[in-house]
């Protein structure tokens, strides 16, 4: 299906203009900023308490802020997009658009661009607070760039999903509810499914372990022997991918590792994971991806396994692309069917 820059830009500009004029944006954006500001401020205050957290305050502040921004945006974005297509149908403005020279792909992409653009306005409002985190130190440029990019992409995916639901379902209330269910499925749903699958994946395995043989007095080791024992363990390396599309997992694992920190007392390399929220989540999911034999014991610092986020992000982007394709298909005319109860005009 053909698409043109002119068509997409025409639709996007129109949609964006209609969105701006329709609502009381200044209030919504103001509330959004105040909530983010309060959250960041509270984190900042709590990190000033002497609770034994080492390292620069910017690292935990930034991690917590980005996770919070993502969580809040996942609540706001479906509402922004869930009536993008069926709302136009209900208002009787879609058909007049479809008989112009705009193609279905022009309309779908243009509307998506406007919705995504709106979501990015919300993200942009968090930038002053991000700057605060950077000032506090401990946020590398690469982490900043990657994290913001990943959040932007994830918001685009959610927009695309909500838009497809609005193209498939006749009523905008139904599509709004289902958009929230889709976000729930991606965030909480992946956790639940992973948890259940982890239980099911549990295997009883026989392992050999080299154990020392002591002399009869129990004082000296005379040699070693292989001893067999059975144990049960979840084989999460087979099911880690269930967790991969979770937006929080993608965000956390994609954040580039921070440079190792020297313990000021011992001069040794110290782990960042007690202050680095993003890094810690990343380590946990990478650990889940490794077979039990390879899993780190004790400090996880040396065992940074294979990355999970490329799979998760790819899956999410594929989901978004599929959603866009569905929207385009549903906008194609002449059409064979009409959504039940909806006049085509």
Partner 1 sequence: MTGADQLSAALNDPANGVVARGVRRRFGPVEALRGVDLTARCGEVTALVGPNGAGKTTLLLVLATLLVPDAGDVRVAGHDPLTRPAEVRSRMGWSPDVFGMYDNLTAREYVEFFAAAYRVPSAHRADRARELLALVQLDSFADRPVHVLSRGQKQRLALTRVLVHQPAVLLLDEPAAGLDPRSRVDLRDLLRRLAREGAAVLVSSHILTDLEEVADRVVFIDRGMTVGEHNLAELPRAQRRVWRVRALDLPALLAALDAHSYPHGDPTPAGVDIELASEEEVVALIAGLVGDGVPVVSCAPVGGALEAAYLELTEEHQ
Closest CA to 14 of 103, 105, 113: 113
Among 45, 141, 219, 345, binds partner 1 (CB under 8 A): 345
**H or E element that contains 217:** none
Helix axes 127-136, 104-125, angle to 10 degrees: 40
Find the shortest distance in angstroms from Cβ 147 to partner 1: 36
- Residue 97 as a binder of partner 1 (CB under 8 A): the answer is yes
Instruction: State yes or no: residue 21 binds partner 1 (CB under 8 A).
Output: yes
* Residue span binding partner 1 (CB under 8 A) among the ranges 13-21, 165-173, 235-243, 296-304: 13-21
- Alpha carbons 150 and 247: distance in angstroms, whole number: 9
DSSP code, position 137? S
The span from the CA of 255 to the CA of 40, in Å, is 19
Judged on CB neighbours under 10 Å (0-12, 13-18, 19+), 160 is buried
Q: Does 6 bind partner 1 (CB under 8 A)?
A: yes
| H or E segment to which residue 211 belongs | strand 203-214
Least Å distance between CB 94 and partner 1? 9
Q: How far is the CB of 340 from partner 1 (least distance, A)?
A: 9
List CB contacts of 332: < 8 A, sequence separation 6 or more: 1, 104
Nearest in space to 151 (alpha carbons), one of 37, 277, 243, 67 = 67
Figure out which of the listed residues 98, 118, 236, 272 binds partner 1, where binding follows CB under 8 A.
Answer: 98
Near partner 1 by CB under 8 A, which window of 18-26, 172-180, 186-194, 231-239? 18-26
Query: Per CB under 8 A, does 101 bind partner 1?
Result: yes
Contact between 102 and partner 1 per CB under 8 A: yes
37-96 binders of partner 1 (CB under 8 A): 88, 91-93, 95-96
**Helix (H) / strand (E) containing 212:** strand 203-214
**Does 17 contact partner 1 by CB under 8 A?**
yes
Closest to partner 1 by CB, 88 vs 287, is: 88
**15 vs 136, beta carbon nearer partner 1:** 15
Give 45 or 345: the residue with its C-beta nearer to partner 1.
345
The footprint of partner 1 (CB under 8 A) covers: 6-7, 10, 14, 17-18, 21-22, 88, 91-93, 95-103, 333-336, 338, 343-345
């Amino acid at each position: 299906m053909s698409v043109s820059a002119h068509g997409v830009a025409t639709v996007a500009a129109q949609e964006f203009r209609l969105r701006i004029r329709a609502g009381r944006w200044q209030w919504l954006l103001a509330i959004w900023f105040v909530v983010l500001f309060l959250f960041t401020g509270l984190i900042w205050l709590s990190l000033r308490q002497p609770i034994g957290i080492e390292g620069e305050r910017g690292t935990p502040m930034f991690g917590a802020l980005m996770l919070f921004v993502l969580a809040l945006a996942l609540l706001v974005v479906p509402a922004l997009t869930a009536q993008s297509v069926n709302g136009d149908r209900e208002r009787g403005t879609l058909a007049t658009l479809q008989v112009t020279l705009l193609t279905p792909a022009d309309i779908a992409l243009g509307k998506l661009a406007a919705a995504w653009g709106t979501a990015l306005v919300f993200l942009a409002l968090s930038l002053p607070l991000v700057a605060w985190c950077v000032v506090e130190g401990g946020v590398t440029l690469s982490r900043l760039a990657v994290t913001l990019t990943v959040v932007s992409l994830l918001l685009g995916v959610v927009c695309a999903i909500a838009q497809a639901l609005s193209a498939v379902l006749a009523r905008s209330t139904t599509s709004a509810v289902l958009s929230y269910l889709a976000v729930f499925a991606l965030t909480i749903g992946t956790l639940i499914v992973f948890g259940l699958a982890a239980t099911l994946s549990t295997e009883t395995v026989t392992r050999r372990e080299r154990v020392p043989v002591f002399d009869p007095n129990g004082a000296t080791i005379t040699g070693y022997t292989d001893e067999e024992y059975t144990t049960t363990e979840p084989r999460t390396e087979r099911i880690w991918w269930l967790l991969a599309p979770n937006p929080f997992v993608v965000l956390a694992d994609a954040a580039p590792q921070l440079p190792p920190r020297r313990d000021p007392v011992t001069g040794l390399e110290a782990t960042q994971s007690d202050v680095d929220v993003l890094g810690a989540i990343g380590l946990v999911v990478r650990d889940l991806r490794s077979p039990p034999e390879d899993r780190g014991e004790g400090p996880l610092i040396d065992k940074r396994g294979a990355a999970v986020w490329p799979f998760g992000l790819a899956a999410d982007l594929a989901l978004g692309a599929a959603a866009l394709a569905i929207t385009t298909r549903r906008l194609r005319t002449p059409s064979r069917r009409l959504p039940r109860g909806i006049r085509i005009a």
